[in-house]
Amino acid sequence: MKHALNRYLIAMGGLVLLAAMLFPAPALAHGPSAGGASASDIQRLFNITLAIAIPVFLLVEGLIVFAIIRYRRRHADEVPEQVEGNHMLEIAWTVLAFAIVAVLFVLTLRALQTDYTVEAERGENVPDLTVHVNGYLFNWDYTYFLDDGEPTGVKTTKKLTIPAGKAVLLEITSRDVQHSFWVPDLGGKVDAVPGYTNTMWLQVDEPGLYTGNCAEYCGLNHYNMLIEVEVVEPAAFDAWLAGQMATANEFVPVGTDLDTPLPEGDAARGEQVFADLACNACHLPEADQPSGPSIARMMRDAATQDGYTADEYLHESIVQPCAVLAEGFTQCIMPQDYGDRLDAQGLADLIEYLKTY
């Protein structure tokens, strides 16, 4: 019975190993996807690494299976032969392992210094569009510049819109802690480091919506720091950018002024403002987040805050968020530039939307 069980376990182990050899698709699925300009370079490195790893895997697993079968205990009293080892063999596999690591190191370093370096950074290519990417707790802002570096005045949050088939240079940084810009289908990820700008080169040929997230743990709301890259046809992008620039030219920021009356707000438009600014990264309808109170909680505070009407409390909380902290929150991590990003109508609409809770 015991011998039969041992044979069964050996057979099952062999089947598992055979399946891993014959069906490597799950392993290949973890390779980089096509999309970004660097994807082909990463794919080449991945293929070389895989080509080295497969023989090593087969050799090691094959020796393990051989040892299991050849040196298995055949009866209860059997004691396996005690072997001290083979020094030349140990030296050989140590040198071989070092050589493999050295080859992969050199290939990776060359790719980082040449192929994977942004062409625009090396002066070999001029981007059709430059976007400054700024990460913060817990969101992303995108500021758009033309091919000659001229600012467009256009700034978006959470969603990055770029033209298909065009060279796009991303200049990536952070305003608070370290983040990491990662859209898996565009190949590779780049750290967003405070006080330093890293670059990423994109040229995405296929229109569509590519999603990703921050790949560097940055706090309890890290999971909600999402990225959306919308790739559209060049003509559609030009029309979108022109519309955004026209709106930006007419835009008058409300600033931190608390005394000037706001126009009448519209809750439906305010809901769109709430989504465009990705306020839901920190503020949910009912449940408090570690990074911010819920909307319902804000409205309860607005109704009970001494010296404020509800509108005044919400107004100040948006454009001067650090003036009064909600009970239980000891740090102000909310961006303090919403007064520069909202006009009077947008702020009034946002307040009206919050008041629906």
Q: Can you give the CATH number for the domain in which 206 is found?
A: 2.60.40.420
Same domain, 242 and 309: no
Cis amide prior to 138 (ω within 30 degrees) = yes
On whether residue 254 sits in a domain, the answer given is no
Comparison of pLDDT for 38 and 268, the residue scoring more:
268
Of 193, 216, 249, which residue sits at a domain end? 249
Q: How far apart are CA 347 and CA 254, in angstroms?
A: 8
On whether residue 121 sits in a domain, the answer given is no
Same domain, 134 and 237: yes
257 — pLDDT class (breaks 50, 70, 90): confident
- Beta strand 226-232 pairing with 159-163: parallel
Check residue 173 and give its pLDDT: 95
167: nearest Cα among 210, 114, 118, 208: 118
Q: What is the DSSP string of 306-331?
A: TT--HHHHHHHHHHSTTSSPPTT---
Q: 62 CB contacts (<8 Å, ≥6 apart)?
A: none
On whether residue 257 sits in a domain, the answer given is no
Of 249, 282, 307, which residue sits at a domain end? 249
Both tokens of residue 152? 């467009």
Check residue 26 and give its pLDDT: 40
Check residue 40 and give its pLDDT: 67
Order of strands across the sheet with 208-214? 159-163, 226-232, 208-214, 179-182, 189-192
pLDDT above 80 for 3: no
Same domain, 133 and 233: yes
- Three-state DSSP at 181 gives strand
Q: What is the CATH number of the domain that holds 325?
A: 1.10.760.10
Q: What is the DSSP string of 63-104?
A: HHHHHHHHT---STT--PPP----HHHHHHHHHHHHHHHHHH
On whether residue 311 sits in a domain, the answer given is yes
346 and 250 in contact (C-beta within 8 Å)?
A: no
Same domain, 271 and 208: no
Show contacts of 59-67: CB within 8 Å, 24+ apart. 61/17, 65/13, 65/14, 65/17
Same domain, 219 and 275: no
Domain that holds residue 333: 267-354
The count of other CB atoms within 10 Å of the CB of residue 110 is: 12
On whether residue 51 sits in a domain, the answer given is yes
Q: How far apart are CA 39 and CA 248, in angstroms?
A: 34
Least confident piece of the model among 7-21, 48-62, 78-92, 195-209? 7-21
Whether pTM > 0.75 for this model: the answer is no
Same domain, 100 and 147: no
pLDDT tens profile 167-189 = 888 999 999 899 999 998 886 78
On whether residue 293 sits in a domain, the answer given is yes
Same domain, 290 and 227: no
Check residue 221 and give its pLDDT: 82
pLDDT above 80 for 16: no
Same domain, 220 and 272: no
Same domain, 273 and 237: no
Same domain, 222 and 287: no
pLDDT above 50 for 346: yes
Which helix H or strand E contains 192, and what residues bound it? strand 189-192
Residue range 108-114: mean pLDDT, rounded: 73
Same domain, 273 and 166: no
pLDDT tens profile 283-342 = 888 888 888 888 888 888 888 888 888 888 899 999 998 888 888 888 888 888 888 888
Residue range 258-270: mean pLDDT, rounded: 90
On whether residue 119 sits in a domain, the answer given is no
pLDDT above 80 for 5: no
Q: How many domains does the chain have?
A: 3
pLDDT tens profile 119-153 = 545 455 678 899 999 999 889 999 999 877 889 99
pLDDT tens profile 19-40 = 555 554 443 333 344 555 556 6
pLDDT above 60 for 118: no
Comparison of pLDDT for 343 and 14, the residue scoring more:
343
Same domain, 240 and 296: no
Q: 255 CB contacts (<8 Å, ≥6 apart)?
A: 319, 339, 340
On whether residue 328 sits in a domain, the answer given is yes
Q: How far apart are CA 169 and CA 162, in angstroms?
A: 10
